[in-house]
Amino acid sequence: MRLRVLDSIRGLLIVQMVLDHFGKPISTYLYQCFGYFSAAEGFFFLSGFVGAYAAISKQHKDPTASWMRQRAFSIWQFHLFSLFILLVLSILIFPELSIYFKANINRPFLASLFSILLIHTPAWLDVLPLYVFLMLIGSFVFPVLLRGKVFLVFTLSLCLWLMGQWGGSDFFRSFFPPWVYHGFFDIFSWQLLYFSGACIAVWYKTKNTISAQTLNWIGLVSILISIFFFLWSRNWIALQVPNNFWIDREHLGVIRYLNFMFFMSGIAFVVRNAPYLLDFKPMATIGKQSLWVYSTHTIMIYLWFISPASFRFYLPWNVFIPILACVTLWFLAVFLEYLKRPHSKHDSRT
């Protein structure tokens, strides 16, 4: 059963990411607005959580989770299509964009091969490739999760995260030319969010022996801890701000991870007790069409980067245009929803 509130939360996360990517002045208030984490962490965590829910519902018909590999293939196609569109635009219409695709333009064969293999990902095009890898890995891990190996999967994921903290991915990057860009997010580290969401979903659905009252107490304590992290991140309490190692975004520092997990525990408390507080139909529509919406927003962001400075850096345009982009993405989601609805011949009667 699909929970609309989860689609709504995903839609809220995507809208926040869109507005963050358009930059100031909106990003000044939205980026890491709840503590030492951003909307991207929520997006990957929720993807793992929802993916595990889907795997549970499909395990009898598809015990090998082949649907995840099919989904990964679809996302891979979306990514390559977005890259192709942007390359065409940079070569034929907007040469200002070429700065973001130097490798693909200067080394068309080798860079294209690495792009197809998702080894090279131009700036701002690195989220979907990471998601492809996570879904491919997840298609083999989720069946293990569903056999009750929650602790094993989380422990292995935690070990990979520890490798990421001390440069585990740098070893693999050393095998490629220096011009190859593997993306901002370290897969060794960020996979922990995806599989944390999956492990929690499977544990909650199959192994949970904690009473609802205890879960509520955990949620309330998590909200209080989240408030502490929020105040700490704003320098509103007399405590030294942690150095970058502990809150690093690229490698998902430990304080960043803990802050996010306590925040999500608080969100889970709200979802269990008052889901209507986070259930917004327009956001749910965006959340259901997240792949199309996110891919389209990436193209919008690139076009925004090459727009005149009089738009990008001055009011009202640097507020109006990002909001207009979000509204446009919502209309796109509504249109896609309409196309997916079954339409009988009687619908066209006048």
Domain count, the chain: 2
What is the reported pLDDT for 188? 95
Q: Which amino acid is at 142?
A: F
Q: What is the mean pLDDT of the chain?
A: 92
Cis peptide preceding 63, ω within 30 of 0: no
What is the reported pLDDT for 343? 61
Indicate whether 310 pLDDT > 80: yes
Indicate whether 17 pLDDT > 70: yes
* Tens digit of each residue's pLDDT (9 = 90 or more) over 142-173: 999 999 999 999 999 999 999 998 888 888 88
348 found inside a domain: no
100 and 238 housed in the same domain: yes
238 and 204 housed in the same domain: yes
Least confident of 42-46, 173-177, 261-265, 287-291: 173-177
- The answer to whether 26 and 299 are in contact (CB under 8 A) is no
Q: How confident is the model at residue 97 (pLDDT cuts 50, 70, 90)?
A: very high
DSSP 283: H
C-alpha of 173 from chain center: 23
Indicate whether 349 pLDDT > 80: no
pTM of the model: 0.93
Distance CA 109, CA 127 (A): 23
Q: What residues make up the domain containing 291?
A: 1-31+275-340
8 and 54 housed in the same domain: no
151 and 195 housed in the same domain: yes
218 and 336 housed in the same domain: no
76 and 201 housed in the same domain: yes
347 found inside a domain: no
Indicate whether 107 pLDDT > 50: yes
- The answer to whether 3 and 57 are in contact (CB under 8 A) is no
Q: Tell me the Ramachandran region of residue 148: left when phi exceeds 0, alpha when psi lies from -120 to 50, beta otherwise.
A: left
* Tens digit of each residue's pLDDT (9 = 90 or more) over 227-250: 999 999 999 998 888 999 999 999
Q: Kindly report the length of the chain.
A: 350
282 found inside a domain: yes
Record the tokens describing residue 317, joined without a space: 């345009």
76 found inside a domain: yes
* Tens digit of each residue's pLDDT (9 = 90 or more) over 280-306: 999 999 999 999 999 999 999 999 999
Distance CA 237, CA 260 (A): 19
Element (H, E) at 201: helix 187-202
What is the reported pLDDT for 28? 92
What is the reported pLDDT for 3? 78
Q: How confident is the model at residue 209 (pLDDT cuts 50, 70, 90)?
A: confident
Q: How confident is the model at residue 344 (pLDDT cuts 50, 70, 90)?
A: low
